[in-house]
């Protein structure tokens, strides 16, 4: 059985996460906000990977990665024909909605907005990477 190993480009995207966490810590030094920020960032990172291996391999049939991917696809499916900008905006919502529901059910006083912020940070990084990739190809 092959394990899920994302391409190197996708792994480089995760190296930006510690830098963002340090910056957020100086702005808002609460660990609960940092954890939720990381959850939102990683949620969108997982959803952006090519997960065709997960649907073929029985090892991942009940994995958290597959749950994240399926929830992301389920929430975004009605907006399949929407413009790209709308899809990018809407892709920040599933992680935030999921963790906001978890926070509400547990009746905890955690900053629900941190997950949305993590998702937005990842999507902005994706936009920058695609922008620079286009400029590199077409000087």
| Domains of the chain by residue range | 35-137
* Per-residue confidence (pLDDT) for residue 85, from 0 to 100: 82
- Per-residue model confidence as pLDDT tens digits over 80-92: 788 888 888 888 8
Q: How far is CA 122 from the centre of its chain?
A: 6
pLDDT band at 34 (very low <50, low <70, confident <90, very high): very high
Alpha helices in 1-139 (DSSP H): 8-27, 31-48, 52-56, 64-76, 84-90, 93-106, 113-137
Q: Structure pTM?
A: 0.81
- The mean per-residue pLDDT over the stretch 114-126 comes to 90
């Amino acid at each position: 059985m092959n394990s899920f190993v994302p391409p190197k480009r996708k792994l480089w995207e995760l190296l930006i996460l510690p830098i963002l966490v340090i910056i957020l810590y100086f702005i808002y030094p609460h660990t609960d906000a940092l954890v939720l920020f990381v959850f939102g960032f990683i949620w969108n990172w997982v959803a952006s990977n090519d997960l065709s291996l997960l649907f073929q391999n029985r090892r991942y049939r009940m994995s958290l990665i597959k749950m994240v991917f399926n929830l992301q696809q389920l929430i975004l499916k009605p907006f399949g024909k929407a413009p790209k900008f709308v899809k990018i905006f809407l892709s920040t919502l599933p992680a935030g909605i999921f963790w906001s529901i978890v926070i509400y059910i547990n009746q905890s006083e955690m900053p629900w907005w941190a997950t949305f912020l993590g998702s937005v940070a990842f999507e902005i990084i994706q936009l920058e990477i695609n922008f620079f990739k286009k400029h590199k190809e077409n000087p």
